[in-house]
Structure 1
Amino acid sequence: MSGIADKISNLVGGQQKPTVDPSTETFVGSIDQGTTSTRFLIFDTKGEPVAIHQEEFKQIYPNPGWHEHDPEEIVQSVENCIEGALKQFEKDGHSRESIKTIGITNQRETTVCWDNKTGESLYNGIVWTDTRTAALARELKARPNSDKTEVCGLPISTYPSVTKLLWMLRNVEKVKKAYDAGTLAFGTIDAWLIYKLNGGPAKNIFITECTNASRTMFMDIRSMEYSDEMLDFFSYEFDMRKVHLPKIVRSADTEHFGKLETGSLKGWPITGCLGDQSAALVGQKGFDPGAAKNTYGTGCFLLYNVGDKPVISKHGLLATIAYNFDGKPIYALEGSIAVAGSGVKFLMHNLGFEQQSHKITELAETVKDNGGLVFVTAFSGLFAPYWIDDAHGTMFGITHHTERGHIARATLEAVCFQTKAILDAMEKDSGHKLAELKVDGGMSNSALCMQTQADLVGIPIIRPKMRETTALGAAIAAGFASGVWKDFGELKEVNTAGQTSFEPKMEEKESKRMFKRWEKAVSMSKGWIAEDQAEQGREEDSKATLESAKKDEEAAAKI
């Protein structure tokens, strides 16, 4: 920035605001790349955000159940947010030189394929919520020895990245050509961003962070390396060893993540990365076994720290990596809910209920209860602990007295019921009942939703005042690697002032009655699309068989 521009950027209210000496301040930047928007936040050492810029990007829905993102637009949104937050940061008198390092947190299972020679993305990113692979998932489950949760921690479903990659190999010509040419690169959003932010093929920084790699089904959660058993299992149609897979690295590292190659922070190091839900656990300082957090975002994700050994769930939960700062991974049990904040957006955008999300809570507060209404928001099937791919959104209990307020209330309650089901499963797997649950994410702003949650689970819900915990977690990872913070003890007082506790108020008998009604509704929501998907799967299989036979004939003719 020129000297004149420096002076202009420091003008506030017609007066020049002096730039603070960077040697006296320390900040950490955090790229927060989410499902519906991207943000860049700059945190001080007390964990307070001093600058933030957010940009939404296009949500692409080509067919029912399909959800895609433009990978190039995601990269551009990151670059725009860095510039926007930095402009605000310098306008407030800070120096960019006081930003010591940058961390990244990202939506996880969303899958990108690109050509490793040109750096060109070969298809839209298939988002974690996408359900087009339901028939493929059933096909994989039907194979011998298909339960691989002991190895990778995940059940086969539409959720992990591997089914999305297999679908692209079957159905996207550009992806198949790159595979045949030996140039197909696969990655989750962290790998794609790090590759592009480092300049793409010129430097070819091709790595993935372990909490993200644990969401692909390719990684052995104990060795933290790609599993031969998993690669072999998924190579029945395409050889997974022909696909370029990024190197797996730990969450905090001063070397592997590289540096920004463009923009106003060109040359700034990236030293930390975490998948968004692990980042939220770190941001909530869930460093001790038994600590748990629930993030109410587009979806809803509950992570429970189980310590330095993975716990393989017997009750429908996922085993995943919580974080790995020093080469010794910490593990978590995870319960994933596909629809949380996206249910609120459904009421706003699809049904025209309100223009602002907080108005949905106000609408829900116009009625004293749900009026007997239960809304199973299975827009993408049901995730943990049910794992029902063929469920669809289903509403039960509609009468002449049902109002919009009842629907709004039932939408909020759907998230709370599923959280209750996950906590019950975690208690069975761990043998311990939680003492409290820390929360964050957009829906945690709703006091009604949080009070309902406390009533249903019967433990206090703790909501911090500063709820940018996902971005803070990425900043903490980067800060640990670069020496901004030395140990967990330095974070003890970070983001503790002004927190709110929601205590259970409902009688246990009423809470159990409501949950029993929810479970009945879940059982009735099953099977709505099973026959259609099975038929679609048979058509796709037939098409794939014909194409394979054609290729065999062509190959034979050349011999």
Structure 2
Amino acid sequence: MKQEYIISIDQSTQGTKALLFDREGKMLLREDLSHKQLINEQGWVSHDLWEIRDNTIRAVKLLMEKASVSPAQVAAVGISNQRETTAMWDRETGEPLEHAVVWQCGRAAGIVRDIANRGFGSIIREKTGIPLSAYFPAAKMAWLLQTDEKKRKRAEEGGVCLGTIDSWLVWQLTQEHAFKTDYSNASRTQLLNLHTLVWDEELANIFGIPLKCLPRICDSDSVFGHTLMGGLFEKPVPICAVLGDSHAALFGQGCLQPGMSKATYGTGSSLMMNIGNKPISSSHGVVTSLAWKRRGRVEYVLEGNLNYTGAVITWLKEDMKLIQSAGETEALALSANPADETYLVPAFTGLGAPYWDENARAAITGMSRVTGKAELVRAALDCIAYQITDLIAAMEQDTGIPMKELRVDGGPAGNRYLMQFQSDISGKKLRIPAAEELSGIGAAYMAGISAGLYQEDALFAGKEGTWFTPGMEENLRLHKKEGWKAAVAKVLTR
């Protein structure tokens, strides 16, 4: 039977998607399963690793039940994943030793303060391209190893696996129990040296992490192992691509040349600019990472990450009870009083790029007597666009390259008010592709190329999309941006 389909798994913060693609790279079907957000009284955010593994297999099985396709026709699997979420499991049994520590979680802040006080912040930034922060997995791994002395001792003996969600899934899904990660995910851990492209022993010692606990780093388009997907496949199918979700979206958007940029709007958001085969050190609050390593060649990116973008809409719905669904926000924002100057700074767990202030806390400023539900909802949407605009400015300053166009994806990209405001406040043209699920698409495309099913040029030729162009008067744009900067300044602690 001819193998002419690709399955892509997009494992994200809120849930897991399984997507089916044909031999032309067209997405045919998708299946979604959500998982629990485990939040304790201290505000720590965790995920159940078994639930993620089981949902992944179940989503793929449900997908194939819907499709009129035999599992024997699947040529390869690709994986994209939530990146900085950190897992720890037993090397012999595969049993999780703790719940996963989610990227949003700041429980390792004390470890970061201690490392900073020891004077290691600059060397960490120099080697990894990333400022020292509890956001990244190295500090989370250090926290996991401190929770139990027996686990710490077992880790030192090599009996513990520490990795990001891609490594957990590859281990659990492959017959080989392969303990691997790719360069895109490794570059986000604060343990990979961007210049030598290996796990850095000095960095591991600073964080107190045994190198023997870390996965093997592989090219993003390599074969990571072979899976029966919980008995779905009669014969093992290769996993031919692994990418962090934002990197997968960059690939899916076709940002394959230096200067090309995309923004992925999700629970949090990521802005990425392809900067080519040499790293550029940022002096404006964004970070340097690897886009991927494929065909044996490395490409780098500048990236800025935001903790709360789509999550702000979740907050409006679940905590503030102002809306019943995200779909209501567009009409509410359009109905808001144009003269209202309310700003929401969503520093619920601190501010990420370009401010990097973990102690900042959220605030609503500029309210007046006319401020109501519609104005607060609009301020929540606006803060997403303001944060992305901050990152655009930082990257333009670092590279000296004006961003002519921004390619956009993710759920909130379907909000026409938000997209027009994003174009207006940034002064950039926005292109939203006709296809959704760019992270899943990127993983599928890379897996299909790796497996020999797809031709790269044909995949990216003639892609359709929706355009938004700036229409805001310049004085108004500047006034609004100054108001945003003033609001942010009120919550910064350094």
| TM-score, normalised via structure 2 length | 0.96
Report the equivalent of 1:364.
333
Task: Identify the match of residue 150 of structure 1 among 111, 126, 141.
Answer: 126
Paired amino acid for 2:194: I
Is residue 514 of structure 1 aligned with residue 487 of structure 2?
no
Residue deviations 1:496-532, cap 9 Å, x none? 22x11101000121111111111111111124xx9xx
Report the equivalent of 1:428.
397
Measure how far apart 1:261 and its partner are. Answer: 5.1
CA RMSD across the alignment: 1.7
Measure how far apart 1:184 and its partner are. Answer: 1.6
Is residue 163 of structure 1 aligned with residue 139 of structure 2?
yes
Mapping for residues 407-486 of structure 1, pairs under 5 Å: 407-486=376-455
Report the equivalent of 2:466.
500
Measure how far apart 1:339 and its partner are. Answer: 0.6
Percent of pairs identical after alignment? 33
Residue deviations 1:168-226, cap 9 Å, x none? 12224663353365412101000000000115xxx331111110011111111233211
Residue deviations 1:359-396, cap 9 Å, x none? 12222222143711000011121111110100111111
Paired amino acid for 1:503: T
Measure how far apart 1:64 and its partner are. Answer: 3.7
Q: Which moved more, 1:416-425 or 1:39-48?
A: 39-48
Structure 2 unaligned spans of 5+: none
Report the equivalent of 1:549.
none
Is residue 320 of structure 1 aligned with residue 270 of structure 2?
no
* SS of corresponding position for 2:271: strand
Measure how far apart 1:99 and its partner are. Answer: 2.0
Q: Aligned equivalents of 2:287 and 2:302: distance in 1?
A: 6
Q: Is the 8 A contact 1:353 1:360 kept in 2?
A: no
Residue deviations 1:421-472, cap 9 Å, x none? 1000000111011111000000000000000000011111111111211100
Report the equivalent of 2:226.
258
Q: Is the 8 A contact 1:366 1:405 kept in 2?
A: yes
Task: Identify the match of residue 374 of structure 1 among 308, 331, 343.
Answer: 343
Q: Is the 8 A contact 2:57 2:229 kept in 1?
A: no
Q: Is the 8 A contact 1:207 1:257 kept in 2?
A: no
Q: Aligned equivalents of 2:73 and 2:160: distance in 1?
A: 39
Is residue 68 of structure 1 aligned with residue 46 of structure 2?
yes
Q: Is the 8 A contact 2:85 2:100 kept in 1?
A: yes
Measure how far apart 1:73 and its partner are. Answer: 0.5
Measure how far apart 1:145 and its partner are. Answer: 3.8
Task: Identify the match of residue 151 of structure 2 among 175, 179, 186.
Answer: 175
Mapping for residues 86-97 of structure 1, pairs under 5 Å: 86-90=64-68, 94-97=69-72
Task: Identify the match of residue 80 of structure 2 among 105, 115, 119.
Answer: 105
Paired amino acid for 1:198: T
In our comparison, the structure showing a higher alpha carbon Rg is 1
Report the equivalent of 2:210.
240
Report the equivalent of 1:397.
366
Report the equivalent of 2:59.
81
* SS of corresponding position for 1:301: strand
Q: Aligned equivalents of 2:222 and 2:305: distance in 1?
A: 28
* SS of corresponding position for 2:402: coil
Mapping for residues 93-242 of structure 1, pairs under 5 Å: 94-147=69-122, 148-172=124-148, 175-176=151-152, 178-179=154-155, 182-199=158-175, 203-235=176-208, 240-241=210-211
Q: Aligned equivalents of 1:361 and 1:456: distance in 2?
A: 17
Measure how far apart 1:74 and its partner are. Answer: 0.3
Residue deviations 1:323-344, cap 9 Å, x none? 1111111110001111111100
* SS of corresponding position for 1:269: strand
Measure how far apart 1:47 and its partner are. Answer: 3.0
Is residue 278 of structure 1 aligned with residue 247 of structure 2?
yes
Report the equivalent of 1:526.
492
* SS of corresponding position for 1:226: coil
Measure how far apart 1:98 and its partner are. Answer: 2.7
Q: Aligned equivalents of 1:449 and 1:64: distance in 2?
A: 32
Report the equivalent of 1:308.
277
Paired amino acid for 1:69: H
Residue deviations 1:385-417, cap 9 Å, x none? 110100111111122221111111001111111
The runs of at least 4 consecutive aligned structure 1 residues that moved more than 4 Å come to none
Q: Is the 8 A contact 1:455 1:506 kept in 2?
A: yes
Q: Which moved more, 1:264-273 or 1:49-58?
A: 264-273
Report the equivalent of 2:316.
347
Report the equivalent of 1:44.
22
